[in-house]
A and B are shown apart, each in its own frame.
Chain A
Amino acid sequence: MDRHPYFIQSYCIIRNHTIAINGHPYLAVEHTAPLHDFLRAAYRQLGIDYPKFYKMDGLCKAIFIAVELMARASGPFENDTALVFSNYSSSHLSDSKHAQDISDEANPVASPATFVYTLPNIAMGEISIRHQLHSENVFFIFDSYLPEFLVPYSHAMLDDGKASSIISGWTEVTAKRCDVFLYHVGQAGHIPCTVEHMKRLYQGQERK
């Protein structure tokens, strides 16, 4: 299963209020800062003008930032770059917000801008728009990060010629925890895309 000649072209980890791209620190803020402040600081540091960012929920924001940094490292992405994401909580951040909106005693009103984010794959839509990717998107829900599934799945897609490269990984974002690990896998690069390597990268034990 690990014999395929596919490599990691870039990877990004957002965890514990720190961001690292290809193993190099990009940003770290106080652990006590609210998630949105942390993500806003990251957006500002990117120095781009993309007001849609502010409309996104936490899941989309974190993914947006990770992919933006990866695009700088190994982009621009081919427009058939597929997206294969996974997490545990789906869109729980926005789900809770919407549930709260409609349970409000005084004025139960649903917000369209919240409801639209109650689907995890919206993040992949945001990425597709930003990077103009016309490609296959799949959002898996797993108990935990599962390279044993994701790595062979990506290899199969590449083998079948359904995509030239793939952005894949684990994107768990809740009110309490942000654990995003995304990687760009394709033909070029130095780190072989194997289950073993993807485990180590996720744990932050390997540098490019």
Chain B
Amino acid sequence: MKADVFVVGDQLVTPLGIGSATNFVQLLDGRTAIKPVADTQLSGHRIHAARIDEQAWLNKISRPQRFTRLEQLFILSLQAMIDEYRIPLDRSTLVLLSTTKGNVALLHRASTAFPPARVHLPVMADELQGYFGFENRFVTISNACISGALAISVARQLLRHHDGYQQAVVIGGDEISRFIVSGFDAFQALADEPCRPFDRDRKGLNLGEAIAGVYLSKTPARDAVRIMGVGSYNDANHISGPSRTGEGLYRSIAEAMREAGAPPLDFISAHGTATRYNDEMESIALQRCGLSAVPVHSLKGYYGHTLGASGLLETVLGIHSLKNNRLIPSKGFMHQGTSQALNIITADHGDTVKTGKQPDAPAQPLRTFLKTASGFGGCNIATVFQKA
């Protein structure tokens, strides 16, 4: 019998604030981080995006000038986790770093205080490792938009198969740059309004920034959440377009549920980027899995698409949802807009569960949720989390 792996801690740095509890409260208040952004550094035209305000974290780390903006954000987040959970820096702690583009902004920033090699992910990883003095070198994963969710799965496998590792920090992050904005623009994937995941009138995605981390352990702490099952399959269909049949996601969910022992799900935290094809693909995959009736949300309406952080960010908020027994509404959704109808969580939905005032609907403690993610390259992942 292999060791169970638990999520025993988490941390978020987002435009809505530092700390995951802070972020969770803001979501229940219906706040979104997505705003119009007119910044010629990013794009020749105005976009809608969710950016982290530097003022919020300036002076919180030592010698910030030695680190890029993204590295500073990682440091801020890692420091908070190490302090809060007293994480050992020795060989028993594994650190996984997930990012799609890391310091790529250095490629097109005119003058830079950093050597060209800093654009490479191993160099960034070593800088972060050195800052804190972790004994193990970081394990870096760059797997498009499933990077964050995949890193949790990889960490779980490494913990289960190595007696020497007792706990793991999994941290993911990306920043918005001209590099990324121009690319998504070329793909005509950006909405010129706050995004509307799964909605009939959705026009595309917004980009967002976040650093999100979870702390995993083989020992369950109080309030721990168990990783019950994971599935990750490629569509084998197209390098950028989601599969029309949702094949890879369907297989991923089926495998995650099989490994988890097919528990009843209280909600699903979908990828829900608000592009026409992605959301449609997800509705088909969920229908094929017989999960169309399960309450489902996308958190992209609050944070935009935070790329390599998104899977982690949304997992952390899902865990807070479990702990608080409150569902997070899917912001931006108004009308069914996929070929397979979904049970999208709306504000009313959340109130029912929270208050339990309606006699027919007593407050149900939330116990289990499914997190899914899909990305360029045809990759998909699904993970089942349950209160331990």
Report whether B142 and A119 are in contact in the complex, using a CB–CB cutoff of 8 Å: yes
Q: In the bound complex, how far is the Cα of B179 from the Cα of A103, in angstroms?
A: 10
Q: In the bound complex, how far is the Cα of B183 from the Cα of A98, in angstroms?
A: 8
Report whether B236 and A133 are in contact in the complex, using a CB–CB cutoff of 8 Å: yes
B222 interface residue (CB < 8 Å to A): no
- Report if A103-B234 is in contact (Cβ < 8 Å); known contacts: A90-B142, A134-B248, A138-B141: no
Chain A neighbourhood of B185, CB < 8 A: 110
**How does the 8 Å CB contact mask read for A93-122 relative to B, with 1 for contact and 0 for none?**
001101100110000111110011011111
**How does the 8 Å CB contact mask read for B114-131 relative to A, with 1 for contact and 0 for none?**
000001111001100000
Interface size on B, as a range, is 35 or more
Chain B neighbourhood of A103, CB < 8 A: 108
Chain A neighbourhood of B376, CB < 8 A: 116, 119, 121-122, 125
Chain B neighbourhood of A135, CB < 8 A: 233-234
Q: Which of B137, B162, B183 has the most CB of A within 10 A?
A: B183
Report whether B187 and A128 are in contact in the complex, using a CB–CB cutoff of 8 Å: no
B282 interface residue (CB < 8 Å to A): no
Q: In the bound complex, how far is the Cα of B161 from the Cα of A142, in angstroms?
A: 20
Q: In the bound complex, how far is the Cα of B150 from the Cα of A136, in angstroms?
A: 10
Chain A neighbourhood of B162, CB < 8 A: 152
Interface size on A, as a range, is 35 or more
B246 interface residue (CB < 8 Å to A): no
Return the contact of B108 from the options A83, A99, A121, A156 (Cβ within 8 A). A99
B247 interface residue (CB < 8 Å to A): yes
Q: Which of A126, A136, A159 has the most CB of B within 10 A?
A: A136
CB distance from A150 to the nearest CB of B (A): 11
Q: In the bound complex, how far is the Cα of B282 from the Cα of A124, in angstroms?
A: 21
A54 interface residue (CB < 8 Å to B): no
Q: In the bound complex, how far is the Cα of B186 from the Cα of A157, in angstroms?
A: 37
Chain A neighbourhood of B160, CB < 8 A: 156
Q: In the bound complex, how far is the Cα of B376 from the Cα of A136, in angstroms?
A: 14
Chain B neighbourhood of A116, CB < 8 A: 187, 239-240, 376
Q: Which of B9-17, B99-107, B310-318 contacts A (4 or more CB under 8 A)?
A: B99-107
Chain B neighbourhood of A124, CB < 8 A: 234, 377, 379
Report whether A118 and B142 are in contact in the complex, using a CB–CB cutoff of 8 Å: no
Chain B neighbourhood of A157, CB < 8 A: 157
Return the contact of A129 from the options B108, B140, B236, B379 (Cβ within 8 A). B236
Task: Return the chain B residue nearest A55 by Cβ.
Answer: B239
- Report if A156-B157 is in contact (Cβ < 8 Å); known contacts: A135-B233, A137-B143, A137-B377: yes
Return the contact of A143 from the options B126, B150, B247 (Cβ within 8 A). B126
Q: In the bound complex, how far is the Cα of B141 from the Cα of A121, in angstroms?
A: 10
Q: In the bound complex, how far is the Cα of B143 from the Cα of A138, in angstroms?
A: 7
Report whether A98 and B179 are in contact in the complex, using a CB–CB cutoff of 8 Å: yes
CB distance from A124 to the nearest CB of B (A): 6
CB distance from A6 to the nearest CB of B (A): 14
Chain B neighbourhood of A164, CB < 8 A: none
Report whether B238 and A142 are in contact in the complex, using a CB–CB cutoff of 8 Å: no
Chain B neighbourhood of A96, CB < 8 A: 107
Q: In the bound complex, how far is the Cα of B108 from the Cα of A136, in angstroms?
A: 33
CB distance from A53 to the nearest CB of B (A): 13
Chain B neighbourhood of A109, CB < 8 A: 186
Q: In the bound complex, how far is the Cα of B215 from the Cα of A192, in angstroms?
A: 35
B139 interface residue (CB < 8 Å to A): yes
Chain A neighbourhood of B247, CB < 8 A: 134
Report whether B379 and A137 are in contact in the complex, using a CB–CB cutoff of 8 Å: yes
Q: In the bound complex, how far is the Cα of B182 from the Cα of A119, in angstroms?
A: 15
Pick the 4 closest A-B CB pairs, nearest first. A125-B377, A115-B183, A99-B107, A110-B186
30 A–B contacts, CB within 8 A, in A order: A89-B120, A92-B120, A98-B179, A98-B182, A99-B107, A99-B108, A110-B182, A112-B183, A112-B187, A115-B183, A115-B187, A121-B142, A121-B379, A122-B377, A128-B234, A133-B234, A134-B235, A134-B251, A135-B234, A137-B234, A138-B143, A139-B141, A139-B143, A140-B140, A141-B122, A142-B122, A149-B139, A153-B157, A153-B158, A156-B160
